[in-house]
Amino acid sequence: MKELNGTTVCEKYIGRRRAVPVLYLQGSHYEVGFDVGRNFANVIKSFLSSYANLRDFEKEYKTEVGRNAYEKTLSNMKERFPYYVKEMQGVADGAEVPFHQLFLLQMDDIIGTINDNHIPRNDTGGCSSLAIKTPNSAVLGHTEDAFSETLNHFYIMSAHIIPTDEDKERGAIEERFASLCYAGHLPGYTMGYNENGLVFSINTLSPLVLKPGNTPRTFITRALLASKSYADAERILRDEGLGIANGFSINMIWTNKDGERKIYNAEVAPDLKGDRSIINIHNYVDEPLVHTNIYQRISIKEVIGPIIDSSTSRLKVIHGHPPPQSQNDVKDILSDTSGTDFQVFQEKKESIIKTIAAGLFELDKMTWSIFINKPNISEPVAVLPIRFSMLKAN
């Protein structure tokens, strides 16, 4: 048991829960954030009290260098994405937690390494993504891997954002999307879809040198939920005038109004010499998309340590399977636990990183299935419809 802001939070080990909370929301950015916070307050408070990395972020936040980086980043985000900052404020108000803790979660390694950018760095990750086109469909599979404290601390928000006039003047537009969210985080940095024809998953990437003050990756992926097309997504990823502060890749299947589907992976990295993101986008036509937590096309110095070792191991295991031809092949590969130290589906109790869920997007059925256990031996706990309503309206 721990105290957080006067609230007692239970932290006893409760195992892997087969539960997928889904909240349907409608309103302005602040209103949607507030309702997320109000409805998931206990989950958010439990995560904030148990997430060890947040303690490290708060230590850096209390230093002069860390506080300056925090203030510069927040100031830039208020200028660039004021409506997403309002959304975060809504979550903080609804859950009755400090705003700065939520913003530190968005900064992540930008603040976590601000005073100690050493090698090796304690970046760990494990998300694996796999996408294929079949004669009748396109399929995207993804293991959502995160620090063990994140297990049972996530939810899905299905939102219809109706921006206020004030937010419209600052660039906000109507949004319809669904995204799995880590507790207290902005939506977008995991997996989901938007109703303009995008289905996606995210892989964390770890450049060695970061750019404090620039756009945190979670703000760019939040903005991608509003993207209207592949070209629009590319513009958001580029983030001209500022650029990303850290790194990630996004796996995308775009469907156009004619029903044509294209599969892309975009790797994104900070540009140390310019005010934009470095991006490299590959279109997968015949070969399957496979991506983990390592840069495959951008030449950049990365951290060394578990995130790279794990990614190399998982890539080897995935490519050791025959090329997937069906949904079942994708589920089999994502369920692989053959690795000794690092597994595609990481479920060892002692692991720092765990697979908290797996997702399977099947565009012939227009469904998004969420699995808590290995998808090749379990039923999905939730099956959500994929809706491309905005695509049909265009």
DSSP state string for 244-313:
BSSEEEEEEEEE-TT--EEEEEEEEEE-TTSSSEEEEEEEESSSPEEE-SS-SSS---B--SHHHHHHHH
In a domain, 120, yes or no: no
In a domain, 216, yes or no: yes
- What pLDDT does residue 3 have? 46
Across residues 134-153, what is the average pLDDT?
A: 80
> 136 and 38 in one domain?
no
Residues 6+ apart with CB under 8 A from 331: 141, 360, 375, 376
User: Each residue of 322-363: pLDDT tens digit?
Assistant: 999 999 999 999 999 887 778 888 877 666 777 888 999 999
User: Each residue of 92-101: pLDDT tens digit?
Assistant: 999 999 999 9
> 142 and 108 in one domain?
no
Return d(Cα 300, Cα 286) in angstroms, integer: 27
Counted domains in the chain: 2
For 90, the domain range is 22-112
pTM for this predicted structure: 0.93
More confident position, 348 or 208: 208
> 176 and 30 in one domain?
no
> 207 and 342 in one domain?
yes
In a domain, 164, yes or no: yes
SS3 of residue 102 by DSSP: helix
In a domain, 50, yes or no: yes
In a domain, 239, yes or no: yes
> 159 and 62 in one domain?
no
In a domain, 28, yes or no: yes
> 152 and 41 in one domain?
no
Instruction: Indicate the residue among 61, 88, 112 that finishes a domain.
Output: 112
> 96 and 202 in one domain?
no
> 103 and 197 in one domain?
no
